Amino acid sequence: MGDPSGIGPEVIVKSLATPAVRSLADFTVHGLHGPMAAAARAAGIDPFWTRVSPQHRGLEAPGVTLVDEELAGATSSPAPNSAEGGRLSFAWVLRAMDDVKAGAAGMVTAPISKQAWALAGHGDFPGHTELVASRWSSERYAMFFHAPPCESGPGLNVILATVHIPLSQVSRHLTVSRVVDTIELAQETMRRLGVDAPNIGVCGLNPHAGEGGLLGTEDAEVITPAIAACRGRGTLATGPHPADTIFSHSLWREGRRPRHDVVVAMYHDQGLATLKTLAWDRAVNMTVGVPIVRTSPDHGTGFDIAGRNIANPGSMIAAIELAARMASSRA
């Protein structure tokens, strides 16, 4: 469910109320009944889930089962950015990971509050990505964002070389090996998405990709050697390209493949500002480099709109659909 005070309950209810989505699999939701029931009432949706307590796992019915923390005594309405919300949302991710280890096909996570996790004592994990990678002891992992093309706009694929770190620390975290790993993960993921020989465009870190060293040396000293190493192994990687132009050459359109099938961005906002502007309602975040299927919507908790029945479930629907697709390809 993610943070129960955010829009997670609403986008879950709206997504799973869609017959085509619900037909993809049987679903177990870890969360609270109160926020889901309130979201259903506001949207005019009849509750469609079966409730069981955390102590009675194994009683899930076909369709949608809610493992309801309220049946174990939890409050139905933690405050936004609260330690209680962080405690619950963190515990639910742990249980979902246990489900996957026990044989579930994959997990889809609604947005959490990093502040709430820190208040609950889990500040060592800035988000789901790092927690999932830690649970499966994956040292080589990344956040990959996939937005397919559709009638309303082009698609885009982006992978991040660094994730949840301050901008002032990006340069020191960028190493040749980290950029190499990210390029290789981009190639592996695009192959899983059906592109056998992907063209990978790599962003520079600095304006104009460093302008020959006038605007920074990381592009020449770190990114260029990483690209050369990957190309030496047969990877179709090019760059470093200026970040202000690379995305215009990386847009998938119906029936037309772009110059770059995927963009390797050096830091969080470099890659996601364009992606979320272009496709915020259909982009999906995947954790790659781990041996499981884990997806999520590309948006945050939306505390400011929670409970108002205005959250768009598009990205959650896309996350569920992609998880089902990726799980099927692994079967």
Q: What percent of the chain has pLDDT over 90?
A: 89
pLDDT category at 112 given cuts 50, 70, 90 is very high
Cβ neighbours for 284, distance < 8 A, ≥ 6 positions apart: 145, 146, 147, 295, 296, 297, 298, 315, 318, 319, 322
Which tokens go with 41?
A: 């009432």
Q: Is the pLDDT of residue 60 over 70?
A: no
pLDDT category at 216 given cuts 50, 70, 90 is very high
pLDDT category at 288 given cuts 50, 70, 90 is very high
Round to whole Å and give the CA distance between 93 and 110: 10
pLDDT tens digit string along 1-54?
999 999 999 999 999 999 999 999 999 999 999 999 999 999 999 999 999 998
Q: Is the pLDDT of residue 252 over 90?
A: yes
Residue 25 and residue 62 in contact, taking contact as beta carbons nearer than 8 Å: no
pLDDT at 331: 58
CA distances from 208 to 50, 120, 236 (A): 55, 42, 21
pLDDT at 62: 83
Looking at residues 299-328, what average pLDDT do you find?
95
With b meaning 16 or more CB within 10 Å and e meaning fewer, what string describes 211-227?
eeeeebebbbebbbebb
Strand pairing category for 156-160 and 142-147: antiparallel
Q: How many CB atoms lie within 10 A of CB 257?
A: 11
pLDDT tens digit string along 76-88?
889 999 999 999 9
∠ at Cα 291 (289, 297), nearest 5°?
70
Residue 287 and residue 143 in contact, taking contact as beta carbons nearer than 8 Å: yes
Per the prediction, the chain carries an average pLDDT of 94
pLDDT category at 59 given cuts 50, 70, 90 is low
Looking at residues 182-208, what average pLDDT do you find?
96
pLDDT at 152: 82
pLDDT tens digit string along 155-174?
999 999 998 899 999 999 99
pLDDT at 75: 83
pLDDT at 108: 98
pLDDT tens digit string along 86-107?
999 999 999 999 999 999 999 9
Q: Is the pLDDT of residue 58 over 70?
A: no
